[in-house]
């Protein structure tokens, strides 16, 4: 399934890629389109390099082939193999197949695997500011995160942050706005959060701790059983597409929105620095290009699939869809600012936080009169007969 889907997708990409565009943004990574940058008569005079091949291992924090999260690195492997005519082959391992989910960072850092795919906020125990490269409560959306990364200096800061760990990071997917999570009682005011043992990684977990909840971080593979057996009282995971795949509706009753804690969770690809440097320039360009393509593709998949999954949850599984009350959201927003300030534990963390905040402020100002104004106008003037209204 992955192969045929990936091939169709690769074909679309080939018609899409425009050389001038590709050259311009590859330059941002210090790369060139190898073999394409010389006129044909000059390149013909160059010696043909030996067809060196590379076989890489990629470990992930996701269950094998989980929709979107788990299939993103599989698509990346297909794309890289096709683009490189088999010169760079990547074998993908799911959570626990080679290393446990939360061992991915260390495994790639040590060179036990050439690549990893996961989310930077899983590493905030050792690098608090890393959470900013996944998502920030009440922070930037997927569109805005991609802009900060690729046109606002975010990627360069991320590379600097990971350099001491021998890692090269790249954006490699985005969930878009997530859901606030699954509960077995209604959340009517902030007191309903108190004492709640809830799975919530990243800075959002620190925010609910401040409201008297007890945030727990666990990989996706452990969530369903933990909720069903009462090890946790509530959980967030991603959104309808992934939550339906996990069967979370069988363990939770109330499904809350909006995902204030993850307004656009960016996934990361990490590459061991020596492995990255060992690639010839054309394979490096292929890897970077393919990862950037998968970054967008994953968001497209979530956007396309979430509403159908939500409809299934509500209509076939009688899930109770709820919006978090405004006063609860207000308290969560207040708590988020203090938590965000807490990541500035050293000089580079301060620079990253300042960059994030500055970009967020600026993009939010413009989006107030563009994206936000448009969506408000569309909702006010057009038909809005989505699942949310019917079920909410
Ligand atoms: Ca999540």
Rounded CA separation 64/138 (Å): 30
Query: At 309, is the secondary structure helix, strand, or coil?
Result: helix
Do residues 264 and 176 touch, judged by C-beta distance below 8 A? yes
Interval between CA 345 and ligand 1 midpoint (Å): 24
Interval between CA 204 and ligand 1 midpoint (Å): 9
Interval between CA 178 and ligand 1 midpoint (Å): 6
Phi, psi of 182 (to 5 degrees): -105, 130
The pLDDT of residue 8: 39
Query: At 194, is the secondary structure helix, strand, or coil?
Result: coil
Phi, psi of 390 (to 5 degrees): -65, -35
Interval between CA 288 and ligand 1 midpoint (Å): 25
Do residues 193 and 76 touch, judged by C-beta distance below 8 A? no
Interval between CA 180 and ligand 1 midpoint (Å): 8
Interval between CA 332 and ligand 1 midpoint (Å): 16
Round the average pLDDT of the chain to a whole number and report it. 89
Interval between CA 168 and ligand 1 midpoint (Å): 23
Do residues 255 and 321 touch, judged by C-beta distance below 8 A? yes
Tell me: the pLDDT tens digits for 8-32?
A: 333 343 333 334 444 444 455 455 4
The pLDDT of residue 27: 52
Rounded CA separation 383/258 (Å): 21
Interval between CA 322 and ligand 1 midpoint (Å): 17
Interval between CA 354 and ligand 1 midpoint (Å): 24
Q: Write the DSSP assignment of 249-294 as a string of letters.
A: GGT-SEEEE--TT-SSPEEEEEEEHHHHHHS-HHHHHHHHHHHHHH
Interval between CA 234 and ligand 1 midpoint (Å): 13
The pLDDT of residue 379: 85
Residues of the chain with pLDDT > 70, as a percent, come to 84
The pLDDT of residue 209: 97
**Stretches in the chain below the pLDDT threshold 70:** 1-46, 49-50, 381-392
Bridge-based pairing of strands 254-257 and 115-118 is: unpaired
CA quadruple 213, 217, 221, 225: dihedral sign: negative
Interval between CA 268 and ligand 1 midpoint (Å): 14
Interval between CA 220 and ligand 1 midpoint (Å): 9
The pLDDT of residue 343: 95
Interval between CA 356 and ligand 1 midpoint (Å): 20
Interval between CA 236 and ligand 1 midpoint (Å): 6
Interval between CA 171 and ligand 1 midpoint (Å): 16
Interval between CA 2 and ligand 1 midpoint (Å): 24
Residue found under tokens 């390099």 = 49
Provide the total of helices (H) and of strands (E) in the chain, helices listed first: 16, 11
């Amino acid at each position: 399934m992955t192969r045929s889907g990936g091939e169709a997708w690769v074909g679309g990409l080939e018609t899409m890629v425009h050389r001038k565009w590709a050259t311009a943004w590859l330059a941002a990574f210090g790369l060139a389109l190898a073999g394409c940058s010389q006129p044909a008569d000059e390149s013909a005079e160059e010696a043909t390099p030996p067809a060196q091949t590379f076989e890489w291992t990629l470990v992930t924090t996701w269950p094998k082939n989980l929709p979107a999260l788990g299939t993103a690195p599989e698509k990346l492997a297909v794309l890289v193999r096709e683009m490189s005519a088999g010169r760079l082959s990547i074998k993908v391992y799911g959570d626990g197949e080679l290393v446990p989910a939360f061992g991915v960072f260390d495994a790639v850092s040590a060179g036990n695997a050439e690549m990893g795919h996961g989310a930077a906020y899983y590493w905030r125990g050792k690098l608090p500011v890393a959470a900013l490269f996944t998502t920030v409560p009440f922070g930037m959306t997927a569109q805005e995160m991609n802009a900060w990364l690729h046109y606002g200096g975010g990627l360069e800061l991320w590379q600097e942050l990971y350099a001491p760990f021998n890692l090269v990071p790249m954006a490699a997917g985005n969930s878009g706005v997530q859901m606030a999570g699954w509960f077995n009682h209604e959340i009517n005011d902030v007191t309903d959060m108190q004492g709640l043992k809830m799975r919530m990684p990243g800075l959002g977990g620190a925010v609910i701790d401040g409201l008297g909840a007890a945030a727990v971080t666990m990989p996706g593979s452990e969530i369903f059983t933990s909720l069903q057996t009462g090890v946790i009282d509530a959980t967030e995971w991603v959104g309808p597409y992934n939550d339906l795949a996990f069967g979370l509706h069988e363990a939770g009753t109330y499904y809350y929105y909006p995902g204030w804690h993850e307004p656009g969770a960016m996934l990361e690809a990490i590459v061991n620095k020596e492995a990255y440097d060992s690639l010839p320039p054309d394979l490096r360009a292929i890897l970077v290009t393919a990862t950037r393509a998968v970054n967008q593709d994953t968001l497209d998949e979530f956007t396309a699939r979430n509403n159908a999954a939500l409809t299934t949850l509500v209509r076939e599984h009688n899930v109770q869809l709820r919006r978090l009350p405004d006063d609860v959201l207000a308290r969560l927003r207040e708590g988020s600012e203090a938590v965000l300030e807490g990541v500035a534990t050293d000089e580079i963390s301060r620079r990253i936080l300042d960059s994030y905040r500055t970009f967020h402020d600026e993009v939010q100002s413009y989006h107030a009169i563009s994206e936000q104004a448009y969506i408000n106008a569309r909702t006010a003037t057009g038909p809005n007969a989505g699942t949310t209204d019917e079920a909410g």
